[in-house]
Structure 1
């Protein structure tokens, strides 16, 4: 009887291992579905996790960073700067807080990180650098996606264009002609002065 039970246990071990292996694969696949590889870049910066990092661009200089930040550390941190290529992006509300065991979203539905005059064409990749208050800075190569489909409204509502520097544009025309001639109407030009002597006075004295 004991031999039969032992044989059953031995036979059950491979089956149990196979079941656990299958379950492990299911968990791994589920984790991958949270952050699919073709949907953005995942990386770590110390205790800060960066998930689904990508850039949405109109191909004309305006771009928005989309990402999710997590914090598994014992203290809160903050995102203080983001660079898209060679351009420093604008943090719409200032430094972005990343609470302990919390999740912070970057993008149109979270904290906006917008770049202007960015060289980022859809279909290519661009370097995106993240700088934190405590965590080490990190750089990823993020895929640039067009502002369409689910990202059609991702770009800022008012896409800023490079403002003209003061003095640029058409200058105000200044008077360049000679000053207007002074009015001469009504003033007679000086005439020729008489050159003849005064009329001859009579010289003949009356005769007696």
Structure 2
């Protein structure tokens, strides 16, 4: 009988050890995955990470993303198109040095679009154009400008100054009217 109990203990020991050890095992994935809901893509040697758009639903939108350059030469982001609207690169082309990283967003290089059809909760196409890398289009999630993204949008669009001659200048007294400003001379109004 002692032999049967020993055999039972010896057979149960590996199962017990595996059960206890399995409590702390965390399965790892074989692929890199985003920690947020942004979209990831590649444009040649340029990596586009966590691409998303913040919008107020009224036409103003901002692109948030991280760009990495894994190539052997410098590059630069020269244009971004949100939907069918060319966005403003606030500081000009975004430099992407070799092994460098560039952030797009409210606290980094601003990429803002105005008159953009981007409704929060939907996706919008965002096309990235580079000096050397191939152009790449992603379908980015549109987030509402609230919570963590409440301050992401620009205060107001930067509009170009108006050219002289586009609109008349001056105050209302300079404008022609149909009413005479003075009564004609030599005529009197009859009084009763």
Which TM-score band (shorter chain)?
0.7 to 0.9
Residue ranges of structure 2 left out of the alignment (5+ in a row): 1-24
Deviations along 1:120-156, whole A, 9 cap, x unmatched? 1101111100000000001011110001111111111
> Partner residue of 2:167?
167
Q: Size of the alignment, in residue pairs?
A: 159
> Partner residue of 1:189?
none
Report the CA distance between 1:99 and its aligned residue.
1.3
RMSD between aligned alpha carbons?
3.0
> Partner residue of 1:124?
122
> Partner residue of 1:91?
89
Report the CA distance between 1:167 and its aligned residue.
3.2
TM-score (norm 2): 0.73
> Partner residue of 2:150?
152
- Return the alpha-carbon distance in structure 2 between the equivalents of residues 28 and 110 of structure 1: 32
Q: 1:116, 1:161 within 8 Å by CA — same for their partners in 2? A: no
Q: 1:64, 1:112 within 8 Å by CA — same for their partners in 2? A: yes
- Return the alpha-carbon distance in structure 1 between the equivalents of residues 106 and 144 of structure 2: 14
1:26 to 28, 31, 34: 28
**Secondary structure at 2:98 match in 1:** coil
Which has the larger Rg? 1
> Partner residue of 2:99?
101
Task: Pick closer, same or farther for the CA change 1:72–1:59 going to 2, 3 Å.
Answer: same
> Partner residue of 2:64?
66
**Secondary structure at 1:150 match in 2:** helix
TM-score (norm 1): 0.67
- Return the alpha-carbon distance in structure 2 between the equivalents of residues 162 and 123 of structure 1: 28
Residue ranges of structure 1 left out of the alignment (5+ in a row): 1-21, 186-208
